[in-house]
Copies of this chain bind each other. A is one copy, B any other.
Amino acid sequence: MVTLKDISRDLGLSVTQVSRALGGHADVNAQTRKRVRAAADRLGYRPNAVARGLKTGRSGIVAMVVSGTRTPEASAHLLEIVMGLSAEFSRIGLRFVLHVAQPDEDTVRLHEDLFLAGGIDGFIVISPQKSDPRIAALTRMGAAFVVHGRDPDQAHVHVDIDNFEVGRRMTDHLLRLGHRRIAFLTAGDNTFFSRERVRGLKRAYADHGLDAGMARVVGLPMIAPEGQRAASTLLSSKQRPTAIIAGNTLLARGVYRAAAMHGLQIPCDLSVLAHDDDLELFATDTFDPPIGGTFAPLSQAWVSVADTLQTMIEPEKEGLKHRILPLGFQIGGSAKSNSD
């Protein structure tokens, strides 16, 4: 292993100067800097992150702890998220590692263990639950962390989209098209984003002077088979909805399948909208007709999450601190006016 000492000996310089030269500090003779750089390359020097970490208190590593998932779709979803985060962090010079816990493992303790042992500069938390204990623990320990999404019960740095608007805009779009019986497939009530979206849906009804009681809200795991099952039930019901809003494109995929099984054409017999995270694995380009709805690429969120966490870890590099990301709307071809 080549150390600063080796370089300093090789060059007859002090370790101090070598360190400064490689660190790119201004107060080093340009000549010297060049010589040091050359020697470091020649000897194959690699800075020891552990030693640097002990001195500076920073390891350059950020972590995320997740629980193992139960379904292929959820796994694929998780891995795409991890890939997106990894890419952003490596772009800004931080290393992102994942710790996958057992389903029955205590993730709060894992956060504590990882942080208190040192060596982790910060954390990412995704899919926060109501009064999320991970957020409470990280806050208590004074760890740097960014949450994707939001827990309204605690104050914390977060990056999110305006989920109220997600619910409001899609519902408004359908109401304008004349739909009244709208079903909304979304996650359970213990997620803030879902509650916000439902609140947006209700607001849209109210804005149109309508009773939101006409809408049906269904809470479910947000994967295709569940979407298919729920849509199937809805489409078999007496007062079947004329439009379905899917919380993500996986659910929408299930809705499309259910519609096909019921012999219903989209958008003629059934309008469908979905919120689209723009995930590659569940690309919407295979939707026929093309799906409409709100649009906010998760990849944007990762840019923001990574930059924000970096700013918390390295305050000297003042970066952006986006919090609420912009929301788009795609018309698509999956919704049509209704005159029931």
Listed in ascending order, the chain A residues whose CB lies under 8 Å from chain B are 46-51, 53-54, 59, 61, 63, 68-73, 75-76, 78-80, 82-83, 86-87, 95-102, 114, 116-119, 281
Across-interface contacts of A87 in B (CB, < 8 A): 102
Please judge, given known A-B contacts A86-B101, A101-B86, A281-B72, whether A59 and B95 are in contact too, CB under 8 Å: no
Q: Is the CB of B68 within 8 A of A83?
A: yes
Nearest neighbor of A282 in chain B, beta-carbon distance: B72
- Of all chain B residues, the one with the shortest Cβ separation from A57 is B50
Which chain B residues lie closer than 8 Å to A101 at the CB level? 83, 86
Q: Is the interface of A mostly helix, strand, loop or mixed?
A: mixed
- A100 — which chain B residues lie within 8 A by C-beta? 79, 82-83, 86, 98
A50 & B99 in contact (Cβ 8 Å cutoff): no
Cβ contacts under 8 Å, A78 to chain B: 75, 79
Bound state CA distance, A76 and B223, in angstroms?
14
Q: Mind listing 30 A-B residue pairs with CB under 8 Å? A: A46-B117, A48-B54, A50-B53, A50-B59, A50-B117, A51-B54, A51-B118, A53-B119, A54-B54, A59-B119, A68-B80, A68-B83, A69-B79, A72-B73, A72-B76, A75-B75, A75-B76, A75-B78, A75-B79, A75-B281, A76-B76, A79-B79, A83-B100, A83-B101, A95-B99, A95-B114, A96-B99, A97-B98, A98-B98, A119-B119
Apart from A50-B118, A86-B99, what are 19 other A-B pairs with CB-CB below 8 Å?
Answer: A47-B117, A50-B50, A50-B53, A53-B119, A61-B119, A68-B79, A68-B80, A68-B83, A69-B79, A71-B76, A71-B281, A72-B76, A75-B75, A75-B76, A75-B78, A75-B79, A79-B100, A83-B100, A95-B114
